[in-house]
Structure 1
Amino acid sequence: MNNMVDFAFPYLLQFIREYTSKVDDLVKDKIESQKEERAKEKEEKDLNMYAQLLPLALPAPPMPGMGGPPPPMGGMGMPPMAGMGMPSMGPDLMPAFGMGGY
């Protein structure tokens, strides 16, 4: 019987080494998946906490013609009036009326 154990012992050691390495890999994968799951839960929890700080709905921007302040007149329309209904004579308007640029 002693000779059979001597003959089978190297194969038994190889089998045990392969088996333990497979179990170690499975344990490592399980630990990594648990870490990823915890990180995902923490991220989701942080996102939910941030969402609680936000208002439920932001006010809509005012629609034209529905009240609110008028839109700015950036260079469009009539020039600003100075007095007596006459347009002001700023440096940008003088050449338009023929009063400058000699």
Structure 2
Amino acid sequence: TNVFSMAIFLLDIYLNFYRKRPKDMSLGVSYQLDENRRVILILMPIEIVDSILTLITTLSQLLYSKFVTEASPLSRQIFLESTTFTVAYPLILAIIIEWKVGRR
């Protein structure tokens, strides 16, 4: 799911930043494109942080399964909880949104 999210995000960046704008746009369309750019610039750090945290969790789980051969269920659960940032996501994302929106 993270790959699809990044693909859609990169498509949004292409459509709103790199694609040439038509010359004969109305004021409403121009305003909407500017708002799209502003929203993408707010969402960009959120998407990057989400991808990094997911990558850290995935890599640590792969390394754990590769190097730890006989683990108790309790140690597996403790490792899983210590490498998964699901509980901290709302706080991390709220800080990023406040940081990006507060800079305006």
TM-score after normalising by structure 1: 0.28
More strand by share: 1
Q: Which has the higher contact order (CA 8 A, sep 6+)?
A: 2
More helix by share: 2
Higher-Rg member (1/2)? 1
